[in-house]
């Protein structure tokens, strides 16, 4: 698939192994004790695996640990940010549209509740939950990030 060409080749191998084993991210996440969104981010080269994560992934996906370490280990650092902006894919575009439409309101509320600063996207945890609903199931997407106050000097 298209974003792989911007990623280390080992990322494609991770996706192939996942498909071959028939595992979901939820299953992989549970097996290596990580959230499913975070481990999916790591597959897309957007998070740095710890040595323990690499050992666990190697076991769960039956991939040679030394190859994982060579490509995604201590000497590799994520180049974060993936794909064109604005995104073409409607799933991604809807998130982008959320920023376009609700961004200023979110900013206003953050300032009112916290003061002059930002929600960190570094010290932040992202989760996706399914909420069943007779009128149609709902996706609950949560960003839980530390508030960072602007320096004054």
- Binding a copy of itself (rule: CB under 8 A), the pick from 37, 57, 63, 68 is 37
Is residue 101 close enough to count as binding a copy of itself by CB under 8 A?
yes
Taking the least distance from each CB to a copy of itself, the nearer of 14 and 58 is 14
Residue 27: CB minimum distance to a copy of itself, A: 10
Provide φ and ψ at 23, rounded to 5°.
-100, 145
String of DSSP letters for 65-111: HHHHHHHHSTT-------S-SS--SHHHHHHHHHHHHHHHHHHHHHH
Residue ranges in 111-140 that form contacts with a copy of itself under rule CB under 8 A: 111-114, 116-128, 130-131, 133, 135-140
Cα–Cα distance, 95 to 142 (Å, whole number): 12
Residues 54-73 close enough to bind a copy of itself by CB under 8 A: none
Note if 97 is an active site residue.
yes
151 is catalytic: no
Residue with tokens 């004054």: 152
Annotated catalytic, 120? Answer: yes
Query: Residues 89, 43: contact at Cβ < 8 Å?
Result: no
Please identify which residue in 13, 14, 41, 61 interacts with a copy of itself, judged by CB under 8 A: 41
* Residue 13 binds a copy of itself, judged by CB under 8 A: no
Structure tokens at 26: 């939820």
The residues that are catalytic are: 94, 97, 120
């Amino acid at each position: 698939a298209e974003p792989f060409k911007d990623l280390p080749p080992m990322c494609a191998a991770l996706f192939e192994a996942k498909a071959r084993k028939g595992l979901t991210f939820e299953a992989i996440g549970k097996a290596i004790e990580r959230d499913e969104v975070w481990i999916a981010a790591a597959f897309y080269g957007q998070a740095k695996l710890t040595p323990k994560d690499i050992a666990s992934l190697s076991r769960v996906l039956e991939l040679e640990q030394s190859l994982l370490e060579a490509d995604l280990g201590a000497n590799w650092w994520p180049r974060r940010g993936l794909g064109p902006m604005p995104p073409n894919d409607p799933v991604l575009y809807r998130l982008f549209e959320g920023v376009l439409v609700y961004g200023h309101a979110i900013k206003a509320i953050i300032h009112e509740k916290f003061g002059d600063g930002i929600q960190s996207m570094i010290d932040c945890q992202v989760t996706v939950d399914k909420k069943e609903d007779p009128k149609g199931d709902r996706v609950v997407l949560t960003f839980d990030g530390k508030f960072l106050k602007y320096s004054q000097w």
